[in-house]
Each structure stands twice: as C-alpha cells, then as structure tokens.
Structure 1
C-alpha cells in the first residue's frame, strides 16, 4: 500500500495494517515523526557526500593528468594511490584504492605444506610460530580467512623448502575479486601528525 492509497486519518504499521490515528499513542507518533525527520536529513547528507566523492575523484584524476602532462605522459583514470599536499603542508588529500582479496583452493595446499613443517619441527622451540600460524588460518566471524594474517606469513625468514613452496602456493592462491576507492582528507595537528577529517558518520 502506497501513501497515496492510505485513507485520511490512518497509518500503516510495520505489518502493513491500517491503523486509525486515534488508536496510535502520542509517543509512537512522536517517534515516527523523529525517525522520518532524521531519515530525510540523512538522505541530504548522503547525497552531499556522494557528490563530494564524485567531484573529488574527478578533480584528483584531472590534476594527476595535468601534472603528468608536464612530463609529456598521459595517465588517465582513477587508478593508484595518490596523496596531494597543500602548499603549507597543513592539509593532505589522499585517493586510496583498496583491493578485495580471496584465496582459491591452492591455499589448502599451502596449509598442508605448513602443517608438514610444524610436525617435523620441534614443538617446544617453535611454539610461538605454531600459534602465529594457527591464528593466520583462523576464520573471522563471517567465516572468511583473514587475508592480511595469511599474507604476513610470507614475510617470515624461513628457508625450509616445504615452507618456501607453501609461500609460493599462497602467492598463487591470491585472487583479486574487486576494489574500492576512497577519498581521505587530513589536517596536520600541533604535533605535526595528520589527523583525518571525518567523512564517515562513525568518525565525527
């Protein structure tokens, strides 16, 4: 039922039933009005942020092309991370690209090779490593492997041939399934540290 078809003096509840205004408590009417007011304001803010994001990406891409043109090259597109500083260094605008990574079935081969290493190495001397590896392959609340923890294993200086093959398998198992682009704006504080200017409602 649309608002146009709701009879005067009635409202629909969450189950779609027609309820006379006279039967709705004043606190429920006040809550309904507050929610609608906040939703309307949120839509305005969301639209403003969407327009800012579009403008920021377009402007940054245009500036990168303009800067590259000074060297006789053409880049184009919104690819790659870029940081732009104001002349006085007070402000920094950053375009950041974050890739979404998953692992294919080759991760299981890597885990099997790592398990072989752990079985052969003396447990007492490698207890910290065993804990680190177990944590790396632990899934998060959504049931997904923590990609950062698994990739961090490749930075370990271990020369066992099976370990090296496992690290190769991890590298081969990486699949990039998408990417997201972000615009971040920072202001330098009195201590010289760049603090983000919140563009996320949870950050302001």
Structure 2
C-alpha cells in the first residue's frame, strides 16, 4: 500500500458524494477564506500553492483576482481532484492552475510541478482534517521562498461565542473527521521561528476562525 493510500481512501470516502455539493454548503461556515485570498497579494509572476485544495474553489477565485500569477494545488483525495479539474476546465483557466495528488506532509514541488518553491502558500480549513498537521506547516515553510508568506485559516476556539454553540459545532465537526487545532498559534509561531519566519495571528468572527500569516525573512 502506498503512502497516499490510507489517508486518501478516507478522504475519498468522505467526499465521494459531498464533493458535488461542497461549495454550495461550505460557504456558510468556512468563514475567512475570501479574506485570506484578498490578503495574499502575491508578486506578479509569482507562484502560489494551496495545500488541501479540494474542489479548487479558492484557487479559481484567486486566479481571477491575480491573473498574472501561477497557481498550484495539491490534495490527497482523487475524488476532490476530479471535481477540481472539471471546475478549473469550466472556467477556462486550466493553464493558470496546475493540480496534483500529494500528501501534504511530504510533498515535493520539484517532483510534482517542476518548480523550486512558492512565493505564497495557503491552507484553508484543511489542517483540521490532517492528523500530522504540524508536519504540514513544516513542509510548507520548507518550500516557501525567502520573503514569502504562509497563510492559514481554520476553525478557531470559538472563545467569544456561547458555550452551547462551541460544543455543538465541535460535536458536528467530529462527524466529518474535523478537529479544530487549538494550539495552532503556538505551533505556527514556533515552527516559523525555526524556519526563519515571523508570525502574526488573528481570531476573527469572535473566535469562530483563526488566521495566521507566517512571513519568511528575505535574504
């Protein structure tokens, strides 16, 4: 069995049917995705990678916002990538977005895409589904160019929302193998420092979400 097989099978099982309604339903509770895209601000001619790209919804929005940038996406689910490739082709931007199946903890952009790294990398509501999520952050920073930025948005601690909401949300998320990463700020800050990067962190929507930007020092 390949390294991709076990986690890939689980994700395929989860999204085999969900992928057909994923974008319609997720817009109501995956808050902060468009804020992240607006703040990417990649350099002209730069390369941007989304880890856990799913249906490529974010990549498509970003490609329209930054037409002079090259976009890449990886996901471990063949089911999601099937939908992603269809949606990218429908938008007639196939030349601007390249997709590949890969493990977020071990991917190599040279092998996947023939590129040395990225000026921006982002992860949107994927870390909460990846058991080895700290390794994802480490891997992302490995392939981030000097002066580049890693952007992460995911479920937060809901610390400023009612307890009943927080408990109910987390029970519901567990049904989909989603676990909010409550130590994300500390882990991202520490991993960033080890990689020569500084982190800024926000908890928008009363803590419903958490959003971190890790900037790798230039030169």
TM-score scaled by structure 2?
0.20
The normalised TM-score by structure 1 is 0.21
Structure number with the bigger relative contact order (C-alpha 8 A, sep ≥ 6) is 1
Q: Which has the larger radius of gyration?
A: 1
